[in-house]
Structure 1
Amino acid sequence: MELRRGTKIMFGVASVIVLMFIYIPLMVVALNSINGDASLTWPIRSVTLEWWVRAFHSQGALQAVSTSLEVAAAATVCALVLGTLCALALQRYEFFGKSAISLLVVLPIALPGIVTGIALNNAFTTMVGIRLSMFTLVVAHVTFCIVTVYNNAFARLGQLGEHAEEASSDLGAGVWDTFRLVTFPRIKSALFAGGLLAFALSFDEIVVTTFTAGQDITTLPIWIMNNMFRPHQAPIVAVVAVVMVLVSLIPLWISQRISAEDED
């Protein structure tokens, strides 16, 4: 379909406005991380790397980064296992309630974070009666990280079909051997991309984390929220935010490259 010149211009202007609305605030945060004034006055009168040095020597920030990495890694591993199993079950087998289960698997990513957080908090503290801890935080993150793995694996399994797996079974291979030798090599790139997305999603999550982490655990997003309005901490928070953006972008970029290569 050929678009008229006026329509192209209108779409182009709208795209530029949307991109500016998204990325100009990120540029402001990056500039604040080298602003020589601790109060972050504008326009910037001097440039300094002092805040970067302080950020990389801040024990609170470093501990928060370590905690976020641990939670994201644990949630990603659990999501890879559970998401793959769900995708295999729902793509390869027919059973009663299949559509309902598929909806329940992807529902956490569609629900508002605050609803998920409150529900999980009540489930942990009231229904199950366990103390909020690293365990409850990882479980909470798995509930929405599993969706990215499930969606990638389910779509890839649908593209591949069942012929190779059926041939493997006809040749005498069991379920595990068929998965290990036939299915997994063909979907591993999709699982890798889904795992990277899950890691990025978990690393910067704050709403669900606030309701399920407890008072003794501070992830990087929570550390940022706690220090944003403290005196002379704003520039350091800006540095941490820039690092956080970079850490989140890397797995997203790799995932996009893998998906593009698979399509080619």
Structure 2
Amino acid sequence: MTISAGLRRTLLAFTALVLAVVYVPLGLVVLNSFNTSNSFGWPPEGLTTKWWSLAAHSSGARDALLVSVEVALLATGVALVLGTMAAMALQHTRFFGRNVVSLLIILPIALPGIVTGLALNNAFKSMFGLELGLFTVVVAHATFCIVTVFNNVQARLRRGGGSLEEASMDLGAGTFTTFRLVTFPMMRSALLAGALLSFGLSFDEIVVTTFTTSGQFQTLPLWIFNNLFRPNQAPVVNVVAAALVLFSIVPIYLAQRLSGDTSETMTR
């Protein structure tokens, strides 16, 4: 299909506009983290690393970051196990109500976060009598992280069909051997994508977390929200946000490389 020069320029201009809308605000966050003024006047009067030093010595930000990483890792681990099992079960079996089960698995990510948070808060406190903390936040985050893993794995299994697995079992391989040598390598890039999405969703979630955590247990998004409007804390919040923007480049780059390597291996 040949694209005219006018259409090509229009598409390039639209792409540049979209990228500007996404990345210009992020660039301003990074720039303001070096701004000498804590009021963030524009243009900046000067640049300084003072705020980075203060952020590095902020015990509140550091503790909240560790909590967010711990919650995201645990929720991602739960999502990988349950999401993969659910996708494989629905892909390899046929039963009455199969589509309803699939809808129920996907539904949590479509619900408004405030509805999910309120429902889980009532369930944890009224039905089970649980104290809100790490466990309740991990369970709450896993409810919507499972969806990302489930969708990625199910799409990969449907694309691959079942011919390779059937051939493996016809040649004498057992269920677990077939999973280890055929199914799992076929799903690796889908699992990686699902894990990254799950980690990202869990790491920056704030609405559901607000309803399922106690006041003493604070993730990084909650810490940012609670400190954003406090006197002299806005520069530190900007530094934390800028650091997250910069550090997020590394896992995304690694994921692209690993996904590319997996695709090349499967092609060969």
TM-score in terms of structure 2 length: 0.90
Aligned to 1:74: 74
> Could you tell me how far apart the structure 2 residues matched to 1:248 and 1:119 are?
31
Aligned to 2:153: 153
Aligned to 1:238: 238
Q: Quick one: which amino acid aligns to residue 41 of structure 1?
A: G
Q: How many residues align?
A: 264
Pair 168,232 (structure 1): closer, same or farther in 2 beyond 3 Å: same
Aligned to 1:42: 42
Check if 1:201 corresponds to 2:201: yes
Q: Quick one: which amino acid aligns to residue 167 of structure 1?
A: A
Aligned to 1:110: 110
Q: Alignment partner of 1:96: what SS?
A: coil
**Aligned CA-pair RMSD:** 2.0
Pair 76,235 (structure 1): closer, same or farther in 2 beyond 3 Å: same
Aligned to 1:215: 215
Aligned to 2:100: 100
- Shift of residue 108 of structure 1? 2.0
Q: Quick one: which amino acid aligns to residue 79 of structure 1?
A: A
The answer (yes or no) to whether the contact 1:197–1:251 under 8 Å persists in 2 is no
Comparing 157-166 with 90-99, which one deviates more in the overlay?
A: 157-166
Aligned to 2:177: 177
Aligned to 1:142: 142
- Shift of residue 263 of structure 1? 5.2
Pair 119,174 (structure 1): closer, same or farther in 2 beyond 3 Å: same
The answer (yes or no) to whether the contact 1:203–1:248 under 8 Å persists in 2 is no
The answer (yes or no) to whether the contact 2:188–2:262 under 8 Å persists in 1 is no
> Could you tell me how far apart the structure 2 residues matched to 1:159 and 1:217 are?
42
Q: Alignment partner of 1:36: what SS?
A: coil
Comparing 66-75 with 141-150, which one deviates more in the overlay?
A: 141-150
Q: Alignment partner of 2:230: what SS?
A: coil
Pair 208,249 (structure 1): closer, same or farther in 2 beyond 3 Å: farther
Check if 1:85 corresponds to 2:47: no
Q: Alignment partner of 2:42: what SS?
A: coil
- Shift of residue 3 of structure 1? 4.5
- Shift of residue 257 of structure 1? 4.2
Comparing 188-197 with 66-75, which one deviates more in the overlay?
A: 188-197
Q: Quick one: which amino acid aligns to residue 64 of structure 2?
A: A
Structure 1, unpaired ranges of 5+ = none
Q: Alignment partner of 1:42: what SS?
A: coil
Comparing 20-29 with 75-84, which one deviates more in the overlay?
A: 20-29
Check if 1:190 corresponds to 2:190: yes
- Shift of residue 262 of structure 1? 5.0
Identity fraction in percent: 55
Q: Quick one: which amino acid aligns to residue 184 of structure 2?
A: F
Q: Quick one: which amino acid aligns to residue 185 of structure 1?
A: P
Q: Quick one: which amino acid aligns to residue 120 of structure 2?
A: L
> Could you tell me how far apart the structure 2 residues matched to 1:252 and 1:40 are?
30
Structure 2, unpaired ranges of 5+ = none
TM-score in terms of structure 1 length: 0.91
Check if 1:128 corresponds to 2:138: no
Deviations 1:175-217 (A, max 9, x none): 2332223211222232122212211221111111111122121
Pair 96,256 (structure 1): closer, same or farther in 2 beyond 3 Å: farther
Pair 171,260 (structure 1): closer, same or farther in 2 beyond 3 Å: closer
Deviations 1:203-252 (A, max 9, x none): 11111111112212111111100110111111110010112223444333
Q: Alignment partner of 1:63: what SS?
A: helix
Q: Alignment partner of 1:165: what SS?
A: helix
Comparing 133-142 with 162-171, which one deviates more in the overlay?
A: 162-171
Moved beyond 6 Å, runs of 4+: none
The answer (yes or no) to whether the contact 1:200–1:252 under 8 Å persists in 2 is no
> Could you tell me how far apart the structure 1 residues matched to 2:156 and 2:121 are?
34
- Shift of residue 174 of structure 1? 3.3
Aligned to 1:27: 27
> Structure 2 matches for 1:5-24, cutoff 5 A?
5-24=5-24
- Shift of residue 87 of structure 1? 1.1
